[in-house]
Structure 1
Amino acid sequence: MSDDELSDPLRDQLLSAARTAIGDELRSLTYFTEDAVEQIYLRGDLERSADLVGFAERERMGFHSKSLYRGTQLDDYQFTIRVFERGYLTRVIAGDHGVWATTDEMRIDRFEELASALTTVLEDL
């Protein structure tokens, strides 16, 4: 497996972690690096119309942001939540790997569970 390709077991681990943390509120799950993007999951009631490359370009800014926040009074960056009219996007980054999950609306503590679960899998890469 190259640094940018996901193995089937890793795909399964990420999806399992997300589904365990937030269940049916998960809309989509996408893995990304500086050079690659791969959608792992898309809920059946959604269309495959998202511009994954465009989303990945935006979310890759997190690699830079993560290092910028290091050593500040805020302490280490953990995850990002983006709020939209019809749901949320949660991005987590560990090293040179990232994942974003889109979700339906849900309580804030569930985002923390989601981010923690996905970070645990990414840190093992």
Structure 2
Amino acid sequence: MSSSVSTDDLGEELVSVCRTAIGDELRSITYFTADDHEQLYLRDDLERDADIDRFVANERLGFTSQQTYGNSELGDYEFTIRVFEWGYVTRTIVGEHGVYVTTDPLNMNEFHEVATAIRTVLEETIPDGSS
């Protein structure tokens, strides 16, 4: 992964805050930019051969969504939740950097907690939050 920050340090920090916010219901964590991605965490009971490229391609659409919803009466974009039969995908984007996590079912407060934690890590770790 090409990045101006240490992927190891960023990855460790993201895993830590996500595990703290979500606990055992956390399934996976993937960091992505427009050009690259890395799965940072995958829970032990899940298959390692999943094709995450499709997920990453879809979550990258969030970079455009940020611009679409910018300056709306709704306020600033915070995070996106996708609901599935057996779990959720939650995406958080700061500038040109994004993270999505997959989880077992959670309550709304837990989604907000993990998105806030991810946003904080990205803003503090990546210069200007947008490089």
Shorter chain as normaliser: what TM range? over 0.9
TM-score normalised by the chain length of structure 1? 0.94
Which position in structure 2 is the counterpart of 1:75?
75
Letter of the 1:89 partner, please give it.
Answer: V
Paired amino acid for 1:120: T
SS in 2 for 1:90: strand
Cα distance in 2 for residues equivalent to 1:105 and 1:4: 34
Provide the rounded CA distance (Å) in 1 between the counterparts of 2:4 and 2:49.
23
Contact 2:18 2:118 in 1 (8 A): yes
Name structure 2 gaps, 5 residues minimum. Answer: 127-131
Alignment of 1:39-118 (within 5 A): 39-118=39-118
Distance (Å, rounded) in 2 between the aligned partners of 1:79 and 1:51: 23
The list of structure 1 runs, each at least 4 consecutive aligned residues, that deviate by more than 3 angstroms after superposition, is none
User: Quick one: distance in 2 between partners of 1:121 and 1:92?
Assistant: 11
Q: For each residue in 1:43-87, what CA deviation from the matched residue of structure 2 results, as whole angstroms up to 9, or x when unmatched?
A: 000002322111111000000001111111111111000000110
Aligned pair count reads 125
Identity %: 55
- Indicate conservation of the 8 Å contact 2:2/2:36, yes or no: no
Segments of 5+ residues of structure 1 without an aligned counterpart are none
Other-structure match for 2:129: none
The alignment's C-alpha RMSD in Å is 1.5
Q: Distance in 2 between matches of 1:6 and 1:65?
A: 27
The separation in 2 between residues aligned to 1:100 and 1:54, in whole angstroms, is 13
2: CA distance, partners of 1:122 / 1:7? 12
Q: Secondary structure at the match of 2:99?
A: strand
Any conservation in 1 of the 2:87–2:103 contact (CA below 8 Å)? yes
SS at match of 1:19: helix
